[in-house]
Structure 1
Amino acid sequence: MQNHHLLDLLNSFSRKEMTRFVEFSRSPYHHKHEMTQVLINYLDKCYPDFSERLCDRKVIWKRLFPKQAFDSSKLALLFTYAWRLCENFLIEEQLAQHPQREQWLLTALRERRQWTIYERQLKKSKKALTQTILRDTDYYRQVMALAEEANEFYTVWEPQAQDQSLVEKEHALDQYYVLEKLRDAVQLQMRRQILRDDYSARLLEGVLEELRLNEEAYREAPAVQVYYQLYRMMDEPSLAAYQAALAIFQENEHCFRLQELTAIYNYLQNFCIAQINRNELPFLRELFGLYNAQLARQLLHEGGYLIEWHYKNIVTAALRLGELAWVDHFIETQKDALAPAAAENAYRFNKAAYCHAVGEFGKVLELLTQVEYSDLRYNLGAKALLLRTYYELDEFEALHALVESFRQYLQRNRLLADSRRSGYYHLFRLTRRLAKLRANYPYLDASQATQRLAKIKTDMEQTGAIFNRAWLERKLEALEKSRKAEV
């Protein structure tokens, strides 16, 4: 039983959630099967250790039925009951946090024709909505539900009343629909940059036309304005479009819940990263600013831990800006902020990146041999870091072997978005050409060296996305200067 999905789920519970689940199981309103309650009490005592020592099926049976012969089917049935109870518990936990709880209360009061209580609750709910500063999709969903409920009330109780509930619902529905289409469009645009997928956003053009023709109607809808600017930023990328999106977002940050704040910052970050990969270097400082703003507010954390990919991206941005002392301090001090399962891997990878930046190439190779490459991002990043390290160490045979293996890797991995595929492909291709020229440099005359350098330089200038372009340009410039120094 130690591999049962119930135990996997309970292992994800916090101590508080486990205690609430036990209390839930003891309520006769929810469940009356005594032995299921006994099983859950035992699992509560085991929590969080659901190892074979405590949760082997025969061990559990002996705890529950010490005087009976082992019966696997009976124990399996108890686990089934406990699983169903756990499902109901999770549903109840979600319902307790649902923003439309008060609308459900209104519906129950209306169906029971409790008009006096109903009208008092309706006024209370409307007042609460007008006082909230949030203006996200949940807000518009609540406005719609409340307006629809009020319309039902007036239709039954006061059909001749001059009520505007249906009009309010339609207005909120317009705002909700436009906002949801924009949110989805922004997310789809972002997905296209990461993975090769084709998504169809039907009716989006109609939404964009609505915003162009009726701009005034959405001026007091901050979330619509923010996502509209985010979409424009992604649709026609530029520094001005990014700054417009950032400005309106910062002006209206207070209108979003924490989860959506994090998502919007993530859109802005990923946009900056994509532009940096196209050699739009002003976005480096913008990206660093975004990270620092979120670090100060702990928006880069999940479950109390700093997300390892933010840790990695912050290090990458700061290294490219030359903030070496800051990076060294950040890597060391923030290691303990990472989730324990990810900390060592993330630390070694980012420490290797720092060591490369300060010229400690031997340490780079040592650290990279200890990194696990189960994740695509580590795999790609480590290969690129290894490539640059081999170049710095004049390990040209190892470099050529790595380029060939990476070419085969790209052919096998079809999920990688074209923009990322081409960015890495051109980095490896051009680095190999540069390494080959560097190895043969002492044996070339001046005209041959100059001609080959010029060809690589022209190739780089005519190639769009190249990851680590700035590093490549520095290496090419250093090779060029070495020839001039010899002359």
Structure 2
Amino acid sequence: MTNSHLTLILRTLSKKEVRDLRKWLHSPAHNQREDVVELFEYLVKGQHLYEDKFLEKERVFSRIFKKERFDDAKLRQTMHFLLKTLEEFLIYQEQQSDEVRARMALASVFRKRKLDRAFQKAIRSVEGLQEQATYRNEQFLRNEYLLQLEKYSFYDGKKRTTEMNLQQVSNALDLTFIADKLRQACAMTTHQKVYKTEYKIHLLDEIISHVEAEGLLDYPAIAIYYYGFKAITSPPGIGEPYFLQLRNDIRKYKGLFPKHELRDIYLMSINYCVAQINRGQDTMRSELFDLYKNGIDSQILIENNTLSHFTFRNIVNLGTALRQFEWVEDFIEKNQRFLPLRYKETFVQYSKAKLHFTKREYNQAMQLLAQFDFDDILMNLYGKAMLIIMYYEQEETTALDSLLESMRTYIRRKDIIASYKALYSNLITYTRKLVRINPYDRAEIANLRKEITSANPLPEKDWFLEQLAKL
């Protein structure tokens, strides 16, 4: 039962959801089987959901059907009924989570039963809830469309003299479609840039023109994704004004989006900044760092009490590059608890190594790097990049030459995203040139400085220029 659908779902429930589900199971309207209640109580007790020994079928069966001989089919039947009831509970929860949609469903019931007064009362309640809604995202616009559509359905079939709300229905549908289309366009564009795939995104030119012509940027659900789309699709150097407006709108409308959607908005903005930095636009580093700091402080980037190990690493890399040492050290200590357990030790050790390395505490950094062989390709490349610099500065020529050759082989053999392959191939190339340069040939040094300055992408560019200045 360790990886059964039932067990996996139960593990995601909060303490409150467990309490609510218990009440649900004890209601005859939802469940009339005592064995289902027994199985539920057994599974949610202590660590039963998380330790394999407690999930052995024979053990579970003996707790539910005391003194009976093990019957796999009987246990599976009980599991089936518990799963079915659990799914019904989750559906109900999801429906009730949107009060506007739930009350609108009641209005629809009254309309279909031709209870006009009850319908009018319910629909006024919906309108009040809609006006007071916290969020102003696409779901808010969609609820407005459904509200207008429900009112139209009520009016339709009445006396033809009744004023119809067809224009409101059409306007609400347009806003819903535009907001949703722009959001999907942002997601698709970001995905195809990262994974080098191609999507056909129809009607975007028409939508962009309509948004601009009709002045629809006062709607947060449209403005955020309009500026996001314009930023990530504009040519280099053209998209920054759109990004800056996006940044301002995020600050302005932050409270108008649910956390899960706000997280996607932050990630879209973060991906834009990363792309610009990879093109050599270093001014975006501070923008990116502010996004990360704000995302961590507000826990927007922490989902289900978990912080992505990739995000953790990227924050450490950026913070140390900006020499925010105290903040980075504090970040590592406070936020390592959010790392997935399987990555925690490795990523914390790497982060501390990065911190020591940037502070030029090379002995401590080397000791930490020597303790781990990173499974992650990029972690390996990051670690090797640090070693390259430390070997060069400590004049460990033989070790450096061996590392550069092994790193070139590693890049050639591994399936690495093209942008990272170019980044670290350039690191190897220019390190070899730096090692082999004649320190007394000023023209050769000047040429290499010019070459490094224009090289893109190239990590640790400032370090290369610093070493040339020492020659």
TM-score (norm 2): 0.89
Alignment correspondent of 2:440: 446
Are the counterparts in 2 of residues 196 and 417 from structure 1 also a CA contact under 8 Å? no
Residue-by-residue CA offset, 1:444-479 (whole Å, 9 max, x unaligned): 5733xx4554454344344322233333333333xx
Counterpart residue type for residue 276 of structure 1 = I
3-state SS of 1:446 partner: coil
Query: Which has the higher mean CA deviation after the structures are superposed, 372-381 or 463-472?
Result: 372-381
Query: Which has the higher mean CA deviation after the structures are superposed, 117-126 or 67-76?
Result: 67-76
> Using the alignment, how far apart are the partners of 2:406 and 2:199 within structure 1?
32
1:336 to partner: Cα distance? 4.3
- The answer on 1:326 being equivalent to 2:318 is no
Are the counterparts in 2 of residues 182 and 228 from structure 1 also a CA contact under 8 Å? yes
Alignment correspondent of 1:75: 75
Question: Is the alpha carbon distance of 1:395 and 1:341 closer, same or farther for their aligned partners in structure 2, counting shifts above 3 Å?
Answer: same
- The answer on 1:463 being equivalent to 2:455 is yes
3-state SS of 2:374 partner: coil
Residue-by-residue CA offset, 1:104-129 (whole Å, 9 max, x unaligned): 11111111111101001112212322
Equivalent runs, 1:3-18 vs 2, <5 Å: 3-18=3-18
Alignment correspondent of 1:473: 465
Alignment correspondent of 1:144: 145
Residue-by-residue CA offset, 1:402-452 (whole Å, 9 max, x unaligned): 4444444444544x4433332232223322332x42xxx6xx5733xx455
1:167 to partner: Cα distance? 1.4
Question: Is the alpha carbon distance of 1:24 and 1:474 closer, same or farther for their aligned partners in structure 2, counting shifts above 3 Å?
Answer: farther
Query: Which has the higher mean CA deviation after the structures are superposed, 401-410 or 283-292?
Result: 401-410
Residue-by-residue CA offset, 1:40-71 (whole Å, 9 max, x unaligned): 22212254544233221111222223322222
3-state SS of 2:90 partner: helix
Are the counterparts in 2 of residues 349 and 368 from structure 1 also a CA contact under 8 Å? yes
> Using the alignment, how far apart are the partners of 2:153 and 2:25 within structure 1?
37
Counterpart residue type for residue 161 of structure 1 = T
- The answer on 1:287 being equivalent to 2:281 is no
Question: Is the alpha carbon distance of 1:355 and 1:211 closer, same or farther for their aligned partners in structure 2, counting shifts above 3 Å?
Answer: same
Alignment correspondent of 2:107: 106
Are the counterparts in 2 of residues 335 and 343 from structure 1 also a CA contact under 8 Å? yes
Are the counterparts in 1 of residues 224 and 246 from structure 2 also a CA contact under 8 Å? yes
- How many residues are aligned here? 467
Are the counterparts in 2 of residues 11 and 47 from structure 1 also a CA contact under 8 Å? no
Question: Is the alpha carbon distance of 1:392 and 1:152 closer, same or farther for their aligned partners in structure 2, counting shifts above 3 Å?
Answer: same
Are the counterparts in 2 of residues 137 and 180 from structure 1 also a CA contact under 8 Å? yes
> Using the alignment, how far apart are the partners of 1:8 and 1:253 within structure 2?
33
Question: Is the alpha carbon distance of 1:58 and 1:146 closer, same or farther for their aligned partners in structure 2, counting shifts above 3 Å?
Answer: same
> Using the alignment, how far apart are the partners of 1:133 and 1:97 within structure 2?
13
Are the counterparts in 1 of residues 227 and 246 from structure 2 also a CA contact under 8 Å? yes
Alignment correspondent of 2:418: 418
Query: Which has the higher mean CA deviation after the structures are superposed, 392-401 or 129-138?
Result: 392-401
Are the counterparts in 1 of residues 134 and 256 from structure 2 also a CA contact under 8 Å? yes
How large is the Cα RMSD of the aligned pairs? 2.7
> Using the alignment, how far apart are the partners of 1:69 and 1:117 within structure 2?
56
Query: Which has the higher mean CA deviation after the structures are superposed, 374-383 or 35-44?
Result: 374-383
Equivalent runs, 1:117-156 vs 2, <5 Å: 117-132=118-133, 134-156=135-157
Are the counterparts in 2 of residues 35 and 78 from structure 1 also a CA contact under 8 Å? yes
- The answer on 1:277 being equivalent to 2:278 is yes
Alignment correspondent of 2:428: 428
Question: Is the alpha carbon distance of 1:373 and 1:107 closer, same or farther for their aligned partners in structure 2, counting shifts above 3 Å?
Answer: farther
Q: Which runs of 5+ in 2 are unaligned?
A: none
Question: Is the alpha carbon distance of 1:156 and 1:420 closer, same or farther for their aligned partners in structure 2, counting shifts above 3 Å?
Answer: farther
- The answer on 1:220 being equivalent to 2:218 is yes
Counterpart residue type for residue 455 of structure 2 = T
Alignment correspondent of 1:55: 55
TM-score (norm 1): 0.86
3-state SS of 1:100 partner: helix
> Using the alignment, how far apart are the partners of 2:169 and 2:396 within structure 1?
68
3-state SS of 2:156 partner: helix
Question: Is the alpha carbon distance of 1:445 and 1:138 closer, same or farther for their aligned partners in structure 2, counting shifts above 3 Å?
Answer: closer
3-state SS of 2:114 partner: coil
Query: Which has the higher mean CA deviation after the structures are superposed, 335-344 or 95-104?
Result: 335-344
Aligned partner of 2:227 among 226, 229, 253:
229
Are the counterparts in 2 of residues 193 and 419 from structure 1 also a CA contact under 8 Å? no
Question: Is the alpha carbon distance of 1:399 and 1:102 closer, same or farther for their aligned partners in structure 2, counting shifts above 3 Å?
Answer: farther
Are the counterparts in 1 of residues 48 and 54 from structure 2 also a CA contact under 8 Å? no
Question: Is the alpha carbon distance of 1:51 and 1:324 closer, same or farther for their aligned partners in structure 2, counting shifts above 3 Å?
Answer: closer
Question: Is the alpha carbon distance of 1:472 and 1:185 closer, same or farther for their aligned partners in structure 2, counting shifts above 3 Å?
Answer: farther
Percent of aligned positions with the same letter in both sequences? Answer: 26
3-state SS of 1:74 partner: helix
Q: Which runs of 5+ in 1 are unaligned?
A: 483-487
Question: Is the alpha carbon distance of 1:42 and 1:420 closer, same or farther for their aligned partners in structure 2, counting shifts above 3 Å?
Answer: same
Alignment correspondent of 1:485: none
* Larger RCO: 1 or 2 (CA < 8 Å, sep 6+): 1
> Using the alignment, how far apart are the partners of 1:23 and 1:432 within structure 2?
69
Counterpart residue type for residue 231 of structure 2 = M
> Using the alignment, how far apart are the partners of 1:192 and 1:389 within structure 2?
36
3-state SS of 1:162 partner: coil
Question: Is the alpha carbon distance of 1:412 and 1:73 closer, same or farther for their aligned partners in structure 2, counting shifts above 3 Å?
Answer: farther
Equivalent runs, 1:234-273 vs 2, <5 Å: 234-236=232-234, 237-238=236-237, 239-273=240-274
Alignment correspondent of 1:385: 386
Question: Is the alpha carbon distance of 1:90 and 1:433 closer, same or farther for their aligned partners in structure 2, counting shifts above 3 Å?
Answer: farther
